[in-house]
Structure 1
């Protein structure tokens, strides 16, 4: 069969080439359009400062107040009179109380009976471990002397357990530990000089309160004489 059209007359043969060329041209023009910059002419504005010649200011009128000058001081008298002092003044003579080497001191007879000598009783401190007669806790009066030491310690433990009150703040904060308390049972039977040492101030304060509430005791004796007896005991604060 004979071909009717000339193959060289086919318009779609180079369409891809034309498309690429057109696309390249469009991209080139777009790039140039984006890179194009225009600059405006800079025009400097001329500002003219106009200063007026009329610089007069209105000054307010003030009034000067004139005060009278102070009066002159009084003039001195022409004649000065001298008045003689005719009144006699008695002079006070102060005698010296110092004693010199020439002063003689009269002898004074003193008898031994005329001199009062007061004997000051010295408070003796004897430790609890070696004292002859330990302080007697209320409730231990009928106990024999050999058992008074054990009775004292037992009553002390009972008093701590009975009056023990765990501090609420320390309980909430989880504070616990052992507080060592040292105190003195005086010659009058009362507890004094309480000292505490522990892990926290709240626990020390409670331990001091317990010991301060101890009742009056019969004071300890050494050679049948009341003496001061120091004593120490631990107070254990433990959360369950």
Structure 2
């Protein structure tokens, strides 16, 4: 290959300084021209102080469903009932004078003797009375009354009484009888009976008691 030498005019490095200075001058001229131009005429002025349009929202009223009470019942129509009874006018004498100086009569005090006495016996206790010898001994005491035998009277007599603290019978009475002399015989046998007294909290007390006395004819 053949080495070609560059021509001195074609060497661009010599013109770098000239091109740089020329470019700076052109840019400076453009900047100065741009600074002197008035671009404000093309801009739109916006007035921020102007009141903006206010949008009002309508309030929706909430409707309530009112419950109406039921209508009152229709009044009953009175029905005329014929009445032939004649009501006579009564004259009330209100002309009586009230003398405040007269003494008022007080009602008599209550009679304490008429008050019922409190019962001094028990009906149910921790340990009820016990008949000594049992019902067999009581039935063995019974003598069948002749009147009841002839009349063919049979049945059961219920005697109620009080067993006192000593085990004795007090105030016997027939609460259900059969007659024919059997009631009296039952009372006689019950009066002769002896009991183990009833006890409440370990102490002997008066207890109300009942016993049946059976009357039965033998064939």
Q: TM-score normalised to the size of structure 1? A: 0.38
Question: Whose Rg is larger?
Answer: 2
After TM superposition, the score normalised by the length of structure 2 is 0.41
Higher strand share: 2
